[in-house]
Amino acid sequence: MTLRLEHVSKTFVLKGARKVIADNITLEVPKGRSIALLGRNGAGKSSLLNMIAGAIQPDSGRIVTLGTVSWPVGFSGSFHRDLTGAQNAKFLARVYGVDTGELLAFVEDFAGLGAHFHQPVHTYSSGMRSRLGFACSMGIHFDIYLVDEVTAVGDAAFKRKSEALFMNRLNSSGALFVSHSMASVRRVCDAGAVLENGRLTYYDDLDEAISVHDRNMRIG
């Protein structure tokens, strides 16, 4: 699996103000590592994940992937709201070339949506959509998982179940992991990358990445 960012830049204009998300970022993500993507609120972590997933295009530069990359786990905006959870899962199975019956059975069991699994997604709460999104993504093997606050989904039992399954997937896959919980970061990750003012710096030592992030937060 190769994931490489080559001179990637991205700027948004919000209410007349320019917000730089990526400023000429060049980075090759080491294979098989679980990397914490750290940065202050609004730094652009979720936008960066969406660029890597292909949902947002950079203004310049390119993102090279050799292998399979998930959509951002925890982000469920890509579901068709008028289709049922089961129909959305079937669609994903066809797109990613996995066995439809196996994915449906896995998602129905793991998401625990009951009869709602066969109802339109627009009737779901945000938590139910997140459960569906997590179950669909974990039911498909990816070489690298993009994870955006997934452990915040659901009750305590579902969080434990989700984290246990995700850790199992990391036995054979890498990840870029966004979470405000440093406890979750330390359990899941073995390296870090800090996004600050559009610059992304990789640290092979997770503790060093967390230290830099903490210092940035104190500076304000």
What is the reported pTM? 0.88
Residue predicted with more confidence, 84 or 164? 84
Q: Alpha helices, DSSP H only, in 54-116?
A: 85-96, 100-111
24: left (phi over 0), alpha (psi -120 to 50) or beta: left
Among the CATH numbers 3.40.50.300, 3.40.50.40, 3.50.50.60, 3.40.190.10, which is that of 1-68+143-163+170-220? Answer: 3.40.50.300
What's the pLDDT at 117? 97
What's the pLDDT at 76? 57
Considering only CA atoms, which of 152, 144, 138 is closest in space to residue 35? 144
| Burial of 174: CB neighbours in 10 Å, binned 0-12, 13-18, 19+ | buried
The whole-number average pLDDT for the span 109-122 is: 96
What's the pLDDT at 124? 93
| pLDDT tens for each residue of 177-202 | 998 889 889 999 999 999 999 999 99
30 pLDDT above the threshold of 60: yes
The whole-number average pLDDT for the span 114-120 is: 97
